[in-house]
């Protein structure tokens, strides 16, 4: 099973304010999810024009609320045996993950032997592998 997710941020290096995911099993959709919180700063003009119009309405009170709910969704998927995947995950998804440290989570990265793939391992193994397809 694959838990494929995408984070939207306020600019390339800004804080994440939306995340969507799909849980796939052998190419079949098992479940989907989307979370969005208010942006706590002036929104980048590029984000206003190219991201905001395509997103669903806000459904989280804050970025902390979003991170808690996203982590709960990931843990439910992981319990089913899923691995986490993200496409072109640098810098947005990679930067969003350390923000989870507000719940005591921390990550380290290392390259794999497969070209274009990087593994993101959680030190205490709650997120064992994140495949970053770049």
Domain boundaries, the chain: 2-133
> What pLDDT score does 7 carry?
87
Asked if 103 and 67 count as a contact pair (C-beta separation under 8 A), the reply is yes
Architecture of the structural domain at 2-133: 2-Layer Sandwich (3.30)
> What pLDDT score does 89 carry?
61
How far, in Å, CA of 69 to CA of 35, rounded?
Answer: 8
> What pLDDT score does 67 carry?
83
- Residue 89, preceding bond cis, omega within 30 degrees? no
> What pLDDT score does 95 carry?
61
Return per-residue pLDDT of the chain as tens, 134 residues.
Answer: 888 888 888 887 788 899 999 999 998 999 999 999 999 899 999 999 999 999 999 999 998 888 889 888 988 998 898 887 776 665 566 566 555 544 444 333 344 444 343 444 333 344 434 444 43
């Amino acid at each position: 099973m694959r838990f494929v997710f995408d984070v939207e941020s306020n600019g390339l290096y800004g804080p994440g304010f939306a995340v969507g995911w799909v849980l796939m099993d052998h190419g079949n959709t098992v479940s989907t999810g989307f979370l969005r919180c208010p942006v706590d700063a002036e929104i980048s003009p590029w984000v206003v024009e190219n991201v905001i119009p395509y997103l669903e309405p806000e459904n989280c009170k804050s970025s902390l609320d979003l991170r808690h709910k996203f982590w709960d969704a990931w843990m439910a998927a992981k319990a089913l045996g899923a691995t986490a995947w993200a496409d072109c995950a640098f810098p947005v998804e990679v930067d969003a993950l350390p923000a989870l440290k507000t719940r005591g989570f921390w990550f380290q990265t290392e390259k794999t032997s497969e070209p274009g793939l990087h593994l993101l391992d959680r030190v205490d193994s709650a997120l064992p592998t994140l495949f970053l397809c770049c």
